[in-house]
C-alpha cells in the first residue's frame, strides 16, 4: 500500500530559527515528490517538485531534499518568519496511469516571535 508519513506532526519554533520537516514514503513506482504549504483555512500551494534524479531544490528560504534510495525527503526552512506558520504537506506521485497522488498528513509549523 502506498503511504506517505510525515514527522513531526507539529512543531513550534522561534522567529529567525531554522527547522527541518521529514517525509518518508513507500510509493512505488516513484514519479515525483512535491511539498505544499497550506495556510489555515486555505488551499495548499506548491513549494517545490522533485523528480527521481534531483537531490536538492530551493524556493527562497525553503530547501527540499530527496533521497530516492531511502525514500526520504526533507523540507528545510531557513530563518523562519511569522508567515511560515502553516501546514506543510508532502505529496508523492506514482508513475502509473493518472499519476495517482498520495498525501502525507502534514506537519503543522507555528513560528513564534
Partner 1 sequence: DGGITQSPKYLFRKEGQNVTLSCEQNLNHDAMYWYRQDPGQGLRLIYYSQIVNDFQKGDIAEGYSVSREKKESFPLTVTSAQKNPTAFYLCASGFGELFFGEGSRLTVL
Residues that bind partner 1 (CB under 8 A): 4, 9, 32, 34, 41-46, 49, 89, 93, 98-99, 101-106
Q: How far is the CB of 106 from partner 1 (least distance, A)?
A: 7
Q: How far is the CB of 113 from partner 1 (least distance, A)?
A: 26
- Residue 12: burial class (beta carbons within 10 Å; 0-12, 13-18, 19+): exposed
Of the pair 74, 78, the CB lying nearest partner 1 is at: 74
Query: How far, CA to CA in Å, does 66 sit from each of 27, 40, 79, 81?
Result: 14, 26, 21, 24
Amino acid at each position: 500500500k502506498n503511504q506517505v508519513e510525515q514527522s513531526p506532526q507539529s512543531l513550534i519554533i522561534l522567529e529567525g530559527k531554522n527547522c527541518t520537516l521529514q517525509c518518508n514514503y513507500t510509493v512505488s513506482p516513484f514519479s515525483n515528490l512535491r511539498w505544499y504549504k497550506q495556510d489555515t483555512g486555505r488551499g495548499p500551494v506548491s513549494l517545490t517538485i522533485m523528480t527521481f534524479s534531483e537531490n536538492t531544490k530551493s524556493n527562497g528560504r525553503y530547501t527540499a531534499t530527496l533521497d530516492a534510495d531511502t525514500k526520504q525527503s526533507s523540507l528545510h526552512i531557513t530563518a523562519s518568519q511569522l508567515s511560515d506558520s502553516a501546514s506543510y504537506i508532502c505529496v508523492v506521485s506514482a508513475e502509473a496511469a493518472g499519476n495517482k497522488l498520495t498525501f502525507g498528513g502534514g506537519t503543522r509549523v507555528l513560528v513564534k516571535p
